[in-house]
Amino acid sequence: MTNGIEVNFTHPRNARLFTADIDPQCTGQRAIDGLLAGDNQGPFLEPPPAGQPYQLIVKRTQGQIPPNVTFAAAGVVNGDVIEIRQAGQGA
């Protein structure tokens, strides 16, 4: 049994919220892949437009979880809200 971190993901275009138990060693990219694949209720995210990958932002710190960084290394703790944004917006 893994000791996961319970986090809440916000959908970038609507009010959907998804709570997940994430392995602390899960990377940002693996989390995105899992959110795109979904579960038995269907995918949480739609595939992004070409050239517009998603970013994960920890709302508490406004810090980004890069694709190759683990949730543990990013300082994610139980109950954190992770905002999902499409990359390349507002920069």
d(CA 39, CA 22): 14
What is the value of pTM for the model shown? 0.85
pLDDT given at position 39: 73
**Domain parsing of the chain, residue ranges:** 1-16+31-38+52-91
Pairing of strands 54-58, 81-86: antiparallel
Query: pLDDT (tens digit, 9 = 90+) per residue, 46-79?
Result: 888 888 899 999 999 989 999 999 999 999 999 9
CATH number of 1-16+31-38+52-91: 3.10.20
Structure tokens at 10: 């916000």
The one-letter code for the residue type at 42 is: G
